[in-house]
């Protein structure tokens, strides 16, 4: 298993519109999807990603046990579903695996490093299948790796592993 590249970053923010506007105006990001007042998913022009930056608004109040403004997680991309299966086994063995999700355009594992910093390891669904995947019910559903393996196989390379520059 090899991590290929950083796929996206996700931030907790205070002031979703202001922050999304900042990244649009200063770095040229485009808003791909927005949940008004709650979240926005942005990508760089020409990017092959569903999103390069996720923003989640946590409001102004800080309280114990609630997220603070800053990094939520980083997502590392693997090239194949076989790599994702291997990552799942390694993370589980280390006691680091904390969740799994199917985001339709990606199949994702969530883990925490020894410092408690959350990160994602994800496999990017082939772009030609995004429309079909996004037409299904639910934007986030439980991960079914067996179903994904049956559909794409363990060795189907996507993203950076397939030579995508973005």
User: Using one digit for the tens of pLDDT, what is the confidence trace for 96-108?
Assistant: 999 999 999 999 9
Percent above pLDDT 90 for the chain: 49
Q: What is the pLDDT, as a whole number, of residue 115?
A: 63
- CA angle at 119 for the pair 131 and 30, rounded to the nearest 5°: 45
Q: Which CATH class for the 3-61+71-162 domain?
A: alpha beta
Contact between 164 and 125 under an 8 Å Cβ cutoff? The reply is no
| Residue 166 banded pLDDT, cuts 50, 70, 90 | very low
Does residue 117 have a pLDDT over 90?
no
pTM beyond 0.85: the answer is: no
pLDDT for the residue 84: 95
pLDDT-derived band of residue 160, with 50, 70 and 90 as boundaries? low
The residues, any chain, with a CB within 8 Å of residue 49's CB and separated by 6 or more, are 7, 8, 43, 124, 166
State the average pLDDT over residues 5-24. Answer: 89
| 3-state percent breakdown (helix, strand, coil) of the chain, nearest 5 | 25, 35, 40
């Amino acid at each position: 298993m090899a991590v290929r590249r950083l796929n996206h970053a996700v931030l907790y923010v205070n002031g979703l519109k202001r922050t999304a506007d900042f990244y649009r105006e200063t770095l040229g990001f485009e808003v791909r999807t927005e949940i008004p007042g709650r979240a926005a998913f942005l990508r760089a022009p020409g990017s092959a990603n569903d999103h390069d930056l996720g923003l989640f608004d946590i409001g102004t109040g800080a309280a114990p046990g609630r997220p603070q403004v800053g990094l939520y997680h980083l997502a590392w991309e693997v090239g194949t579903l076989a790599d994702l299966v291997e990552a799942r086994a390694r993370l589980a063995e280390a006691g680091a695996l904390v969740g799994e999700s199917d985001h339709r355009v990606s199949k994702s594992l969530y883990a925490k490093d020894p410092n408690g910093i959350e990160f994602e390891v994800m496999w990017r669904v082939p772009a030609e299948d995004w429309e079909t995947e996004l037409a299904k019910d639910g934007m986030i559903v439980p991960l079914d790796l067996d179903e994904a393996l049956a559909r794409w196989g363990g060795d189907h390379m996507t993203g950076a592993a397939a030579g995508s520059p973005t």
